[in-house]
Chains A and B, each alone.
Chain A
Amino acid sequence: MGAPNGPCQTRVQVLSVQNLGTDVFVMRCFCPEIAKRARPGQFVHVKCGDDRAYILRRPFSIHRVTSDNAFELLIRKVGKGTKYLSTVTPQSQLDMIGPLGTGFDIPEPTKKAVVVAGGLCVAPMMFLAEELIARHIRLYTVIGAQSRDELYYYMDFKRMGRDVYVATDDSSQGHGGFASDLVPRAIEDGAPDVIYACGPHEMLAAVAGCAREYRIPCQVSLEASMACGVGACLSCACETTEGPQRVCVEGPVFDADRIEW
């Protein structure tokens, strides 16, 4: 039972819940088992309260891991489960399974990388960016959001590498349009060894298209509705060149050219 690097089910202590804006918050959790094992791109499957009417767990990307055995989740309130999590008080405990899934791969040698994050899918990309920086890889970051108030991590990315490309749906900052529109520019500026992307499906398909055009390897993080989160129920299937694969085990990160867009 329990491979040393495999996932575990554990009670996680909530350290803080901090609002970033309307409906978005960061939950900081203490849990050595998860923090020590987590890799960028992996997620946790969280039991959101004891409401008997809504019993399934909710998946959230690991947003950041810090040296004090803590990790963070970046969450948008969209429904019952996320609303519950937004009300959890420090010191309370949550039942989580994790870290789950296959995260981003950083091939050797990588010197430069383009990181594309659309909307709240910036969550796993912060963990990835910090890992890339720790490995002295130069970042070209493309972030998209609905409007400038939702570019939560602009300053953080700016600190990690001066090349940050911004797109907003309402043109309130940077390019007015999709983050994927800016990917060709980032590729031409950076000549990256690899592209990493997380965001809405259409955006990922567009980024994958760019990557193919420029012949640069690209990894994308997908979402799917999940029940078990551990590979048992096959609810999270996605079509790949090798047949259906489980987003929760073989993913959420896939090589873009393996996905049937």
Chain B
Amino acid sequence: MSGGTVNGAGPTPGGGAPGRAVGSVTGASAWTFDVAISVQKLSHAFAGADGRAAPVLRNIDLEVAKGEFIAIVGPSGCGKTTLMNLVAGLEPVQNGTVTVDGHTPRVGDRNVGYLFARDALLPWRTVLGNAELAMEIGGVDKAERKQRAMSLIADVGLEHSTHAYPAQLSQGMRQRVAIARTLATTPDLLMLDEPFSALDAQTKLLLQDTFARLWAHLSSTVMLITHDLSEAIGLADRVVLMSARPGKIKRVFTVELPRPRSIIDLPSEPAYHRISEELWHELREEVTR
């Protein structure tokens, strides 16, 4: 096997937090406090159309180090969103254990930020108002809120649309507001479910780059779900490949590309092509199954 890929689900030092190495985890017992997300023997089922339990996730083991950027790819319907909902506490755990920062996941945790494909901007709030929303609920005081929101709005390049309503923005602009809203509270953990999937190819590249740039200033742990392999490789420290439903972890790829990376320049990196090819080869088996 060529270099740059590794099997197994143990955490590796996060590229976003160099130097914060985590001892390799082989068994379920030995982990350090630097583990941000720990998922053990997690299985999940939904009531199917016929009323019987339909398994969605099967025996997932995954540990994510603090500051690590992890991407999850897999065929549609394999349970990626379900896995994220379980980690977020939006869905109760049925089998196995999930801990976030050592605790049972709790929905509404102020240290966790979300970004979804649908921006969920509030149409009655301006760009500024939407960017302030998470901070408002997080209890940040007014002056600081505004100052932070303005600076993030500038970071995502919307300084000329501060007082526009979402209906007056393009899809890419709307998602940039959502990014500003999410990053404004500097969450320790970011959960991203196909955040760029509703965008056209060029806008997507720009926003991926914007996001990578902003993330580099934070020490957040990131869990990113995506169908875009170059997005996964370009952003993540590790890429987790899930099998078709019921989802299992099929393989974990470590991306040993140096940081800071530029997604736009990614195609010029030989390592990118190597990982991409292998990832696609394995994913194809699942998608066509």
- Does B associate with A? no
- A contact set with B: CB distance below 8 Å: none
